[in-house]
Structure 1
């Protein structure tokens, strides 16, 4: 089990919130610590957005709590009704992520009813302290680098996909191991989508940076699409290839073609990082692809209905190749524009 940066930063944020609470003389660091836990996010932009949203809903929650104390007093029913109202307000303003901490603020303020407004203000300041501590830790300690993290995740997904594609037709891997690796690949692709969302949210300040970032996002989307098409090819091979009669006759050609596509995919990723020579020709021969399509056409004309299953496999290979070529052209265009 590995300890990620976010786990470490959560612990550090809690420790900093407790330390600052002691310096400021708060009676208890609990509220500040809870606030710091809610504020830690996977990117600086999300942390800032979280603080902005939390500040708005917590101020509103504090006002509602104080008004309710004035009108209804401190009763369990009043606290429950105020919590319901705050939840509805947060949902109305599309700030659902702030509900947890806002409710902590509401309950903390209403629970301090006997101590007066000074205690209510003190507890609100505890919340702000925890939020500030979390944001400071997120910016200073291991600051998130979405682009680098996305690139690492792409390579990780490709390594898993490459292993599975190279053994899909030859069927060399144990079925149990193959299925386990495929599940890991699906999990990695889901995480990659999440990582892209974080990357997409990051804001560029200068106009030039915004244009470059927009081009990088296009390339990133293409990378995800290519990986998804490779994953789709795996599923189709498993479902249709081995069920087609005479599939063994095509094992060498299909296996070789997938091997070439896998190598092409790897070279594209290297090219995107500027690691390939400018004049390197990395695209597979289209003539070989056309020849395979022609041979399959002749083969499928020989009656047996189940032979058509091979069409699905070939179609998935060609679509994978199409998206790889599209990705390479996009990378070429972006690199020419940025150079």
Structure 2
């Protein structure tokens, strides 16, 4: 079991929040610690957004709680009704992620005595702000999130798993339990990539030049994920349709060679993006070979359409995978050229 950076930062944020609460002589550090836990996010942009939304909903929740205490007192029914109102308001404002901490603030305010009033509410809000400030500072200063670097590592990891499964798909030499386990790992890796892409979308660079570079990187990242998903679709097509065809062994060498070539092309694109390929290296496979495969398959279909029609699904997935690899190759070239143009002389 490994301890991730976010786990360590959560612990540090809680410790810092408690320390600040003690330093400012707050009556209890619990609310600050809870606020710090809720504020730690996988990216700085999300963490800042969480701070802004938490401040808004906590101020609103505190106001509703104060009004409810004056109108209805400290009854359990009043507390439950206020919680319902605060939840509905947060959902209406599309700030669902702030509900937990806002309810903590509401409960803390409503359990106070009437005499303390708005001063008690202000005290509780300051505790929340102290916790959020501690978490935000820790998130920036300690192991700051680097989603782009993590994304590239995840892409290579997903491609390594995909390449292994594709190269063994036609030969069917891998043990079934091993194949199943590797496929589950690949699906998990693709899920992490989708989450990383959503983190990219949340980023909001301040400088115009950084915004343009970020937009280009976002487009490239989307094509990288798309190519991996299309490779996964090809793997699914082979498993579902290829082995259901009687006499599929006649196509084994042709399909295996084509898939091997596409997996190699995918690998070379990633190496080129890492700057590990020569500038003049010709890595794109011949489209004529794909055309010949389609012609041969069409000829077989004319002879016996019922027997070989399921091979069309495999060929279609293969061609779509090749199409998206070529798109990724072109986009990567454009992004790299623009990056070199923008680089200072």
- TM-score, normalised relative to structure 1: 0.97
Extract unaligned runs of 5+ from structure 2. 341-345
Q: What is the CA deviation profile of residues 261-287 of structure 1, one whole-angstrom value per residue up to 9, with x for unaligned ones? A: 111001101112222111000011222
- Aligned pairs (5 A) from 1:324-335: 324-335=325-336
Cα drift, residue 115 of structure 1? 5.8
The whole-number CA distance in structure 1 between the counterparts of 2:210 and 2:276 is 23
Q: What is the CA deviation profile of residues 164-206 of structure 1, one whole-angstrom value per residue up to 9, with x for unaligned ones? A: 1111111011112111211111111111111100012111222
**Counterpart residue number, 2:306:** 305
Q: What is the CA deviation profile of residues 267-308 of structure 1, one whole-angstrom value per residue up to 9, with x for unaligned ones? A: 101112222111000011222222222221222221250311
The answer to whether residue 156 in structure 2 is matched with residue 170 in structure 1 is no
- Aligned pairs (5 A) from 1:60-99: 60-99=60-99
The answer to whether residue 37 in structure 2 is matched with residue 40 in structure 1 is no
Question: RMSD in angstroms over aligned alpha carbons?
Answer: 1.2
The answer to whether residue 254 in structure 2 is matched with residue 253 in structure 1 is yes
Cα drift, residue 247 of structure 1? 0.7
**Counterpart residue number, 2:51:** 51
Which region of structure 1 is more displaced relative to structure 2, 108-117 or 241-250? 108-117
- Return structure 1 stretches of 4+ with deviation > 2 angstroms: 117-121
SS in 2 for 1:113: coil
The whole-number CA distance in structure 1 between the counterparts of 2:26 and 2:14 is 15
The answer to whether residue 4 in structure 2 is matched with residue 4 in structure 1 is yes
The whole-number CA distance in structure 2 between the counterparts of 1:124 and 1:62 is 8
Q: Quick one: structure 1 residues 13 and 115, their matched pair in 2 at CA, closer, same or farther if it must change by over 3 Å?
A: farther
- TM-score, normalised relative to structure 2: 0.96
The answer to whether residue 174 in structure 2 is matched with residue 181 in structure 1 is no
Q: What is the CA deviation profile of residues 36-85 of structure 1, one whole-angstrom value per residue up to 9, with x for unaligned ones? A: 11111111000100000000000011111111111111111111111111
Which region of structure 1 is more displaced relative to structure 2, 299-308 or 77-86? 299-308
Report if the CA contact (8 A) 1:54-1:101 is conserved. yes
SS in 1 for 2:173: coil
Report if the CA contact (8 A) 1:32-1:130 is conserved. yes
Cα drift, residue 331 of structure 1? 0.9
Report if the CA contact (8 A) 2:227-2:321 is conserved. yes
SS in 2 for 1:242: helix
The whole-number CA distance in structure 2 between the counterparts of 1:147 and 1:42 is 12
The whole-number CA distance in structure 1 between the counterparts of 2:339 and 2:305 is 53
**Counterpart residue number, 1:136:** 137
SS in 1 for 2:303: coil
SS in 2 for 1:275: coil
Report if the CA contact (8 A) 1:150-1:199 is conserved. no
The whole-number CA distance in structure 1 between the counterparts of 2:281 and 2:115 is 75
Q: What is the CA deviation profile of residues 112-161 of structure 1, one whole-angstrom value per residue up to 9, with x for unaligned ones? A: 22561333322221111111111111111111111111111111111111
**Counterpart residue number, 1:197:** 198
Report if the CA contact (8 A) 1:160-1:185 is conserved. yes
**Counterpart residue number, 2:227:** 226
The whole-number CA distance in structure 2 between the counterparts of 1:207 and 1:119 is 44
Q: How many residues align?
A: 339
Which region of structure 1 is more displaced relative to structure 2, 57-66 or 105-114? 105-114
Extract unaligned runs of 5+ from structure 1. none
